[in-house]
Amino acid sequence: MGSEHLERYRDIIPDFDAFLDFMSRPLPVTIRINTLKTSVPELLSRLDRLGIGYERMRWYPLGLRLDAEKPGRLMEFHMGLIHVQEELSMLPPVVLDPQPGERILDLCAAPGGKAAQISMQMSNKGLVVANDSSSARIVPLRANLERLGAVNVVVTSYDGRRFPQYNFDRALVDAPCSSEGTARRYPEVIARCSAKRSADLQNLQVSLLRRAIQLTKPGGVVVYSTCTFAPEENEGVVSRVLDLADLESFTIQGLRSSQGIASWNSIDYGEELVKCRRYYPHENDTGGFFVAKLRRRLSAGE
């Protein structure tokens, strides 16, 4: 599974051999219960009647691991009662913590799982702007939002780096990345990964994150996430926006994680970066993820 490329992370990933072992294992099948259309007891009762085994996630009450290979074929999926979503993909909206009535931006929203989750957390009250620069990806984005009953979501298709000025309460940047953390589901992604590709992606990611911060009101929260292990795309990006926003520590009960990287390959990102959280496959039997929580300064240079 391209472990030669992953070797570049041996010095920063704890228990690296266990990490490699989990990277070669199949990814658990996970779903999110959509409380816009059902309740947890009702959905669990449906699964019981279907004879489908499940395990509740320790850290997220609406997440399940299923003993079913194709949950997207279930009637419950087509009815919008559930959404097939990798476990850690449910994490950024939880960290963002949107409140009913707020104005929220999801800058890189397709295919829509996180935008729909944000809408659900807001009980469909307030405004969610789900943006994606790819016109082709807008189609599945709209379809997922409609299926899941996320009626307070407006879909736009701007280049996120040039999104028109607005005043959001919170913003999510789930950035385009090298996607190394999805390799348990898509092993072929590792062959496309390289240090050069990660370095090339950094400027785009920085531009997206800076724009999201500028679009958020002073004191507002911005969450930056990727599904990659590369420091160039994670701490390297966050370190370049700290003139606009401050990093905040956060913890998720029941979900193991590692702290961010302060320095790597002779590059000093700064001690503040340990406030970021890294989620490795062997820590929770998941994919890989990186999450940073920022708060826009009350006055910051643009």
Q: Which of 177, 193, 227, 276 is catalytic?
A: 227
Q: Write out the two tokens for 74.
A: 């279930």
Which residues define the annotated binding site for S-adenosyl-L-methionine?
Answer: 108-114, 132, 174
DSSP string, 251-275: --TT---EEPPSEETTEE--GGGGG
Which residue bears the tokens 């003993």? 67
- Cβ-Cβ contacts under 8 Å for 122 (sequence gap 6 or more): 98, 99, 100, 101, 102, 104, 128, 152
Active site residue 193: no
> Which of 71, 60, 58 has the alpha carbon at shortest distance from 30?
71
Taking only Cα atoms into account, the Rg of the chain, rounded to an integer number of angstroms, comes to 19
Q: How many CA atoms lie within 13 A of 115 on its CB side?
A: 34
Q: Write out the two tokens for 170.
A: 């919170």
Which residues define the annotated binding site?
Answer: 108-114, 132, 174
> Which of 77, 29, 4, 8 has the alpha carbon at shortest distance from 184?
29
**Which parts of the chain fold into alpha helices (H)?**
3-6, 16-23, 40-50, 75-78, 91-96, 113-121, 135-147, 195-214, 235-238, 281-284
End-to-end Cα distance, the chain = 42
Active centre residues (catalytic): 227
